[in-house]
Amino acid sequence: MKIDLRKIYRFDALERLPDGGLPKGGNVYYECNECKVIVASVSHIKVACDCGNLTGGGGMTEVKDAAKVTPLKGTLR
Ligand SMILES: [Zn+2]
């Protein structure tokens, strides 16, 4: 099942960490620049973006290519 998180959250751009890494947290989401799918940075349900760059589940999200990811802060609408 696919949930469009944009219908639930308002997303604002988030700065990368000083070392260029991706921030992480309960209100942090990753947008895949390839397929534009948004995945939570801490995902307890099994999710994946369409191109496979982001895969989540079990409380973590794996990022294959961090350069193709935009970190976002999600706020409930
Ligand atoms: Zn993707």
Residue 62 CA from chain centroid, whole number: 10
Neighbours of ion ligand 1 (CB under 5 A): 32, 34-35, 49, 51, 53
Distance in angstroms (rounded) separating the CA atoms of residues 72 and 19: 17
Give this prediction's pTM: 0.92
**What would the pLDDT profile of 23-36 be if each residue is shown by its tens digit?**
999 999 999 999 99
Q: Is the pLDDT reported for residue 2 higher than 90?
A: no
Query: What gap in Å lies between CA 47 and CA 14, rounded to an integer?
Result: 21
Distances (CA, A) of 41 to 8, 54: 16, 9
What is the pLDDT at residue 42? Answer: 96
Q: Of 28, 14, 18, give the one whose Cα is nearest residue 56.
A: 28
CA of 32 to the centre of ligand 1 (A): 5
Q: How far apart are CA 74 and CA 19, in angstroms?
A: 22
75 — pLDDT class (breaks 50, 70, 90): very high
